Structure 1
């Protein structure tokens, strides 16, 4: 690029390529793994990491007190996401012969397995194909803070930790009816989840160690270690009420698993605000720009500035506007592209409003490389829009804007000199609303990841909603 050229225009592909292909996240993951594993040959290690088809696999821990439904939910999640299902029992039974023999020696003596041995078992298990390529769901482990920290030390840390919670009295009562299928380990309940198949009913057995006294002892031990484990996983955890039907529990768990944690990789906001006239796009754009130091790009203001500066494109647009016509898309896009390609927009990010208004404009924006990573529809009922716009007036002396209901003038003198803008008459507002609704469905079909926000409320409440979806990654869509 010629740095002497002013203004410096940066091709939009520079900003979008790295984000589309996850380059920054890739660097972050590589550096994390190098620091954790400390390989003797970091270059060869990173090359091996890059050869893996997919590093973005589910890594889930499901914890909870006994009889909270960990086994049932873990199996449902594992089947849904097609991941490996890890439990303390199958980790030992599937371990290598030497490690397995060592672990079984402790089990026969009714002794707790040392943390070092658990680390060996899990380290070897995580290297297998199913965990590497498909991810894993670990049920009921770690059981102590020491185990959780030991796993972190070797780089085993969940992306999501689900904590199933329920009152102890409910868990003790639930344990009385717990039954297990010895053929596959499926858990059933005499009251809440009895199988319809008579063959399965006949082979169900009571679970040992779930008498009232046993449950009390297990619950005491669980609560003694829980706070320590929670401190290790609190940034990636969610507590779900397990005292409800399993379908409802699974629904809440799956919604949480679809969410993504914030990344430390660089992120440049490119936001598009869409909505009917009077929906508050300008207000929200201003709030976002002020708080996050991104560029507030108003298409309408850009057009006015181009006309005032008498630029080539501005004069071309003025010829149409003077006749009461919309400026052609190619003229608008040329003016908009010149602004979005400037250094401040590329480096700091931008929030665009007033464009696109049709699907064709949205397609042109994307085709020219200005691909937004957040799109919001500000939804407001037509009646509220009419109330907002037709009742507002402006003081011609001070320029202060008033509203007859929400912000009336304080003096009769000011009230008498207020003027209404010609575009705020009922006919003009209805005309703009009809134009918006004629194209909104087509735009929504184009921006499939767009988020809808209820904008018929306090502006700062709307801003908090938009802000939460700007700073947090969008929900993940599992295949």
Structure 2
């Protein structure tokens, strides 16, 4: 299964990807986690990324695509993957399609978690208090939601035109949201995984 979990920051992509990776038997590839690992290791990319992320600014497309392509080339991603946090704009979506075609792993489905902005701000405030992530600061979250609406939301239409988009209500109990995602996956995954 080659799946993109799509949605606004704080919509639950990471939470659902963590839950789905066991069921689907494929790795959860989070651009946020990949970047945070670079930051923790103090790499040149990590230091550059930290400054931008702390301000709520997205990294350049070429940097992100390079990180993603490198990760998808690893052996554990060959049977499939759950991609979380990428693509974030139309150029990234087109570039990702090109990379996946080149490596023979086209997407099966893009699942958009639909969550109202007010619920997202509340979720991120809780996460900021618990984890202290600078990108979950309420002011930063509002800025990120603005960037999402302007740059990322149009990606849904890109995948809808290709017949890949499924929209799922991302509000509610975790198990219910997970089941909604499983219900829209191609190939009857939910029946095999239940």
Contact 1:317 1:327 in 2 (8 A): no
> Does residue 444 of the first structure (1) align with residue 156 of the second (2)?
yes
Distance 1:350 1:451 in 2: 17
Counterpart residue number, 1:387? 122
When residues 290 and 463 of structure 1 are mapped into structure 2, their CA distance, relative to the original with a 3 A threshold, is: same
| 61, 67, 90: which one aligns with 1:329 | 61
Distance 1:422 1:337 in 2: 27
Match of 2:47 in 1: 318
1:421-432 correspondence to structure 2 within 5 Å: 421-432=133-144
Structure 1 segments of 4+ aligned residues over 4 angstroms from their partners: 307-310
Distance 1:390 1:308, change over 3 A: closer
* Aligned twin of 1:362: 93
| Alpha-carbon distance between aligned partners in 2 of 1:458 and 1:333, rounded to the nearest angstrom | 33
| In 2, Cα distance between equivalents of 1:344 and 1:277 | 26
Say whether the 8 Å CA contact 2:125–2:138 is kept in structure 1: yes
Unaligned runs of 5+ in 1: 1-268, 395-400, 402-419, 474-479
8 A contact 1:453–1:465 mirrored in 2: yes
Is the 8 Å Cα contact of residues 108 and 186 (structure 2) preserved in structure 1?
Answer: no
Match of 1:346 in 2: 78
How much does 1:337 deviate?
A: 0.6
1:465 aligns with 2:180: yes
Change (3 A) 1:373 1:429: same
1:454 to 166, 169, 172: 169
Query: Within 2, Cα distance between the matches of 1:441 and 1:320?
Result: 22
Alignment of 1:99-138 (within 5 A): none
Task: Indicate yes or no: 2:90 matched with 1:378.
Answer: no
Task: Describe the superposition over 1:248-303 as per-residue Cα deviations: whole angstroms up to 9, x where unpaired.
Answer: xxxxxxxxxxxxxxxxxxxxx00000111111101110111012221110111112
TM-score, normalised by the number of residues in structure 2: 0.81
CA spacing shift, 1:320–1:385, aligned 2, 3 Å: closer
Which residue of 2 is the match for residue 123 of structure 1? none
| Distance in structure 1 (CA, Å) of the matches to 2:185 and 2:19 | 13
Q: 1:424 to 1:299 in 2, by over 3 A?
A: closer
* Compared CA separation, residues 333 and 388, structure 1 to 2 (3 A): same
Contact 2:11–2:170 (CA under 8 A) maintained in structure 1:
yes
The gaps in structure 2 that reach 5 residues or longer are 189-194
| Distance change (3 Å), C-alpha of 1:289 and 1:386 | same
Taking the aligned partners of 2:173 and 2:3, their CA distance within structure 1 comes to: 21
Contact between 1:317 and 1:331, CA under 8 Å: does it hold in 2? no
Post-superposition offset of 1:367: 1.0
SS at match of 1:368: helix
- Counterparts of 1:389 and 1:285, CA distance in 2: 17
Report how many residues are paired.
Answer: 177
Higher Rg: 1
User: CA shift at 1:309, angstroms?
Assistant: 4.7
Using CA pairs below 8 Å that are at least 6 residues apart, which structure has the higher relative contact order?
2
Q: Report the counterpart of residue 21 of structure 2 in structure 1.
A: 289
